[in-house]
Amino acid sequence: SYAALAGRTAVVTGAASGMGEATARLLATNGARVALLSRRRDRLDDLAAKIVADGGQALVVPVDVTDQASVDAAVAAVHEAYGPADLVVNNAGVMLPNPIDDGRVDEWTRMIDTNITGALRIIRAFTADLVAAAAEGRTADLVNVSSIAAHLTFPNYAVYSATKAALTHLSAMLRTELGPRDVRITNIEPGMTDTELGGHMDNAALAEELRGLQEAVGSLSSDEIADVIAFVTSRPRHVNLRQVMVLPTRQA
Ligand code: NDP
């Protein structure tokens, strides 16, 4: 268990499925109250019901992180119900690979707007909360879920990888502004993890390739990523595992 999480006020984006769902559950199990942010309200309702049935606290906040007005409304809902946040997990993301020659501006826009600008909208919304919490001597965490894709070179995933490289770099740069004010920034870079992420691509050959790779190297579970996030956010506040790569042992 991660006792230090008790009493924290957490915001998790992309909480409808995969790593976000698992992280929200684990934070709640350890006594944090958790705002669940993503687009699919039915999934968030189910998750909140499970958390409450387990004795935890959860708030359903439907949001599209690509829409500033939607984010503004979500932030107001979090503040009204819970007050300021002290643990923010930027996890929402989409992965839409295709050959660069296809020129899929629609997919590029969606990935950039979700994985980079969406994360920035959430950072913009909660930085003041985190700075204030830290100034009061409380632990304040911003966790960005990037990817090992930030470092790999791999055909057809150029734009996705670029969004993740941007997020990794953003984490490193933000440490220089917020670290001196005791806001802890952690960049998590998972490898192959069994979630819905690959289910949105429209290229059957690439979907098949991904399944093959997953069979070859195996995959982590969302719970295993959630465990890492709970671990890093429950250390003493001056201890920052700033960059965590977590991969299946067989993934090169
Ligand atoms: P999932 O597809 O299961 O989860 C992604 C979540 O993001 C969903 O819950 C989705 O919920 C939410 N989301 C997507 N678009 C938006 C949006 N516009 N506004 C709000 N929420 C949105 O996949 P994962 O759990 O794998 O993904 C979580 C993160 O992990 C992503 O950033 C991904 O890039 C990263 N990652 C995943 C890896 C893997 O192998 N699976 C490896 C490395 C990194 P909804 O549809 O309800 O909005």
Residue 54 in tokens: 């387990």
Q: What does the domain layout of the chain look like in residue ranges?
A: 3-244
Residue from 63, 161, 197, 246 whose mutation best tests the ligand 1 pocket (most atoms within 8 A of CB): 197
What pLDDT, on the 0 to 100 scale, is given for residue 1? 79
| CA 147 – CA 195 distance, rounded (Å) | 14
Q: Which atom of ligand 1 lies at the shortest distance from residue 219's CA?
A: 40
| Nearest residue (CA) to ligand 1, atom 32 | 93
Q: Is 35 exposed, middle or buried (0-12, 13-18, 19+ CB in 10 A)?
A: buried
What pLDDT, on the 0 to 100 scale, is given for residue 6? 98
ipTM of the modeled complex: 0.99
| CA 27 – CA 50 distance, rounded (Å) | 13
Residue from 12, 88, 91 whose mutation best tests the ligand 1 pocket (most atoms within 8 A of CB): 91
135 Cα to the center of ligand 1, angstroms: 31
44 Cα to the center of ligand 1, angstroms: 14
Residue 7 in tokens: 């009493």
Please indicate whether residue 195, judged by its CB atom, sits closer than 6 Å to ligand 1.
yes
What pLDDT, on the 0 to 100 scale, is given for residue 4? 97
Which residues lie closer than 8 Å to 218 by C-beta, 6 or more apart? 192, 248, 249, 250, 251
- Which H or E element spans position 140? strand 140-145
Written as tens digits, the pLDDT of the chain (252 aa) is: 799 999 999 999 999 999 999 999 999 999 999 999 999 999 999 999 999 999 999 999 999 999 999 999 999 999 999 999 999 999 999 999 999 999 999 999 999 999 999 999 999 999 999 999 999 999 999 999 999 999 999 999 999 999 999 999 999 999 999 999 999 999 999 999 999 999 999 999 999 999 999 999 999 999 999 999 999 999 999 999 999 999 999 998
Q: Provide the angle, in degrees to the nearest 10, between the axes of the packed helices 119-135 and 158-178.
A: 20
91 Cα to the center of ligand 1, angstroms: 6
Residue 69 in tokens: 């007005």
Predicted TM-score (pTM) of the model is 0.98
Which residue numbers are catalytic?
160
Q: Which CATH superfamily is domain 3-244 in?
A: NAD(P)-binding Rossmann-like Domain (3.40.50.720)
14 Cα to the center of ligand 1, angstroms: 5
